[in-house]
Structure 1
Amino acid sequence: MALGAEPEKGLDVTRVLIRFPTGERKERRFHSNTTITTLYDYVDSLDLLKTENYTLVSNFPRVTYGSEKHSLTLVEAGLHPQASLFIEIEQ
Structure 2
Amino acid sequence: MDNDAAAPTVRRGAYVGIDTRADCPASGELFAITLPHGEIVLRRLLWEEDYFRLCAENPAYPDRRIRLARTEWILGRLAWVMQEI
Given the two structures, how large is their TM-score scaled by the length of structure 1? 0.27
The structure in which a higher percent of residues are strand is 2
The TM-score normalised by the length of structure 2 is 0.28
Structure number having the greater helix percentage: 1
